[in-house]
């Protein structure tokens, strides 16, 4: 028996429709045209996941520079239901982790997860993510509307005012 192969590929204007379809199937929220326009410019931060050459998942991230820190925001990371638990999500998270470690200049990685999505919460906890806050009414059209913010800290946040002295 040959081992199934999981590969990541770039999102291009030629396959962006596959990403749209995948997201429609996997996520309860819909993403607008601007989201997909940004994804096309995201380079290594957006990948389609192939399982035996079939698109079964995708990850889309962006760099977030709010709150005085440089963070990587995972906008979407999902896999079609029949292909879950085959290591595809892990390959996608690993890609994101490799990206931030190679870059070396991120404070943390974060994402929002619907509070009822225990599978996703457990999945991210395996990679060292933790729930840092819960946002009420984060989602507009789905129930429950609240989201946990899961974060993996890459470097400790030092007190902003003392930064100058510490980094001398």
What pLDDT does 4 receive? 79
Residues in the chain: 168
pLDDT for the residue numbered 2: 59
| Residues 6 or more apart in contact with residue 19 via CB below 8 angstroms | 11, 36, 39, 46, 48, 55, 58, 60
Burial of 20 (0-12, 13-18, 19+ CB in 10 A): middle
Question: Rounded to the nearest 10 degrees, what angle do helices 16-26 and 33-40 cross at?
Answer: 130
Q: Is 138 designated active site?
A: no
Catalytic residue among 31, 73, 138, 139: 73
What pLDDT sits at residue 67? 78
Q: What is the pLDDT of residue 119?
A: 95
pLDDT in tens, the chain (168 residues): 556 799 999 999 999 999 999 999 999 999 999 999 999 999 999 999 999 999 999 999 999 998 789 999 999 999 999 999 999 999 999 999 999 999 999 999 999 999 999 999 999 999 999 999 999 999 999 999 999 999 999 987 665 444 444 444
Residue 157's pLDDT is 66
Let me know if 148 is a catalytic residue.
Answer: no
Catalytic-role residue among 31, 99, 112, 139: 112
Q: What structural domains does the chain harbor?
A: 6-153 (3.40.630.30)
């Amino acid at each position: 028996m040959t081992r199934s192969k999981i590969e990541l590929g770039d999102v291009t204007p030629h396959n962006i429709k596959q990403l749209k379809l995948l997201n429609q199937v996997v996520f309860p929220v819909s993403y607008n045209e601007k989201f997909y326009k940004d994804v096309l410019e995201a380079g290594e931060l957006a990948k389609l996941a192939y399982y035996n050459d079939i698109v079964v998942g995708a990850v889309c991230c962006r760099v977030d520079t709010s709150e005085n820190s440089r963070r990587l925001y995972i906008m979407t990371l999902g896999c079609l239901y029949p292909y879950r638990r085959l290591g595809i999500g892990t390959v996608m998270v690993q890609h994101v982790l490799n990206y931030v470690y190679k870059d070396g200049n991120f404070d943390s990685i974060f994402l929002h997860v619907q509070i009822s999505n225990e599978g996703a919460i457990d999945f991210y906890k395996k990679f060292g993510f933790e729930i840092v806050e819960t946002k009420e009414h984060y989602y507009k059209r789905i129930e429950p509307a609240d989201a946990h913010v899961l974060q993996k800290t890459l470097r400790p946040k030092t007190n902003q005012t003392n930064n100058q002295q510490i980094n001398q």
